[in-house]
Amino acid sequence: MLDALTQKFRAAYSREPELVACAPGRIEVIGNHTDYNGGTVLGAAIDRRTWVALSRRDDANRHFLSEERPGRVALRADEMERRSGAQSWVNYPLGVLDAMGDAGIGIPAGFDYMAASSVPAGAGLSSSAAIELASCLVFLRAVGASVPREQLVALGQRAENEFVGVPCGILDQGVSCFGRRDHLVFIDCRVPRFEAMALPPGSNFWIFNTHTKHALIDSLYATRHDECMEAARVIGVPLLVDATPAMLAAAETRLPRPAYKRARHVIDEIARVGQAVAALRAGDLDALGRLLFASHRSSRTWFENSSPELDFLVDALEVEQGVHGARLTGGGFGGAAMALTSDAFGERGVNRISESYLARFGTRPEIIHARTGDGATLVKPGT
Ligand code: GLA
């Protein structure tokens, strides 16, 4: 990918890229919608990455190219308005520049920029966090700045919250930044604290991308976020991480039904993440898998962010040999399901799932055997 990107950069801009960085996509392993509630979550960085190449310019012109999008976006350094339509992908790098500026870090004026990615977009694998972090690393380097990894996460999240306009937590940026091959990343989102946890040998992750996406996905995410905050307010705690099942039960009659349901999921899910960490420490993948199925049922019933396609996949995976557990991964409302499997799950199981999904929905899911990978890194640091 690095060679191909370098060649394309040369062809487009007639010069060498000075700096190159990459950052991985991620799987949300367990902890659905816990992050912005101050809870805990487990994720894995995958070996699908977004690469960003950059060379500074002497003028104040910024050129953005992406292998995945047609056309060049040309902006002057003082044009920092949010883009729309075909140019909206540029909001990720622009949002990072905006966040760096707000944090008092210098930002490069003119530059030539090119992105390329093997993280499928719209699959719940956080292609957006990957482009944010890879962009952030090259921008920082371009102005000779370096920040702690925790701040890199915060800059990516700020770009997403303030500029792109999604009130997400730090799961995606945290895992993309702190990911490590053969490890999961545990995040205590309130502190925040990040910890790599070794994955037992013989663990496999599979992604089943439905290529479906609810038309109102962004507003549904924001509504869920608001319902969680409303539940915390009525219960009388700063965030749902501070609420216990007993506190929720005591507040049930005062809570609007949707807020009760969301809180019920979040409080139980945070407890499940704790149990998942214990199962992982004990090397008990079956126990971890059972928690994944329980998580999916809770998302479906209480958080109501599943879909017929995701439910079908999880039900089909539950009866397959070698599957420890499966659930929807990421924001939900379409997107992808993930499975944690032993080596006993392979081509035959994949084919069965694919065939039965085809028979039910008339199309096949995209199926990816995802390996864990390392976190965001500057691969060409320039001189
Ligand atoms: C999306 C968001 C994350 C997290 C998940 C749900 O991926 O970007 O911050 O809230 O949904 O757990």
Distance separating alpha carbons of residues 126 and 44, to the nearest angstrom: 11
Q: How many CB atoms lie within 10 A of CB 176?
A: 34
Residue 124 has a pLDDT of 84
For the annotated catalytic residues, the residue numbers are 172
Predicted pLDDT at 85: 93
Q: Which atom of ligand 1 is least distant from the CA of 129?
A: 8
Where b means 16+ CB within 10 Å and e means fewer, 228-260 reads bbbbbebbebebbbbbeeeebeebeeebeebbb
Ligand 1 pocket, residue 173 CB under 6 Å: no
Which residue pairs, CB below 8 angstroms and at least 24 apart, start in 215-220? 216/333, 217/331, 217/333, 217/334, 218/165, 218/166, 220/305, 220/333
Query: How confident is the model at residue 356, as a pLDDT?
Result: 98
Q: Rg (Cα) of the chain, in Å, rounded?
A: 21
C-beta 25 within 6 A of ligand 1: no
- 88 CA distance to ligand 1 middle (Å): 20
Q: Whole-prediction pTM value?
A: 0.96
Beta strands in the chain, from DSSP E residues, in sequence order = 19-30, 40-56, 61-66, 69-76, 111-117, 183-188, 193-198, 204-213, 323-329, 334-341, 366-370, 377-380
Q: In this predicted structure, what is the pLDDT of residue 168?
A: 93
| Residue 290 burial (C-beta neighbours within 10 Å; 0-12, 13-18, 19+) | middle
Give 82 Cα–ligand 1 centroid separation in angstroms.
22
- The minimum-distance atom of ligand 1 relative to the CA of 166 is 8
Does ligand 1 lie within 6 Å of residue 168's CB atom? yes
Grouped pLDDT means (10 residues each) for the chain, 383 residues: 94 97 98 98 97 98 95 97 95 98 97 96 89 98 97 97 93 98 98 97 96 88 97 98 98 98 98 98 98 98 98 98 97 96 97 98 97 96 85
Predicted local distance difference test score (pLDDT) of residue 107: 97
The answer to whether 114 and 12 are in contact (CB under 8 A) is: yes
Q: Whose CA is nearest to atom 4 of ligand 1?
A: 33
Q: Are 113 and 62 in contact (CB under 8 A)?
A: yes
pLDDT at 44: 98
Asked if residue 127 lies in contact with residue 330, where contact means CB atoms within 8 angstroms, the answer is: no
Whether ligand 1 lies within 6 angstroms of the CB of 172 is answered as: yes
The per-residue pLDDT for 1 is 85
- Residue 217's pLDDT is 86
133 CA to middle of ligand 1, Å? 16
Rounded to whole angstroms, how far apart are CA atoms 145 and 100? 10
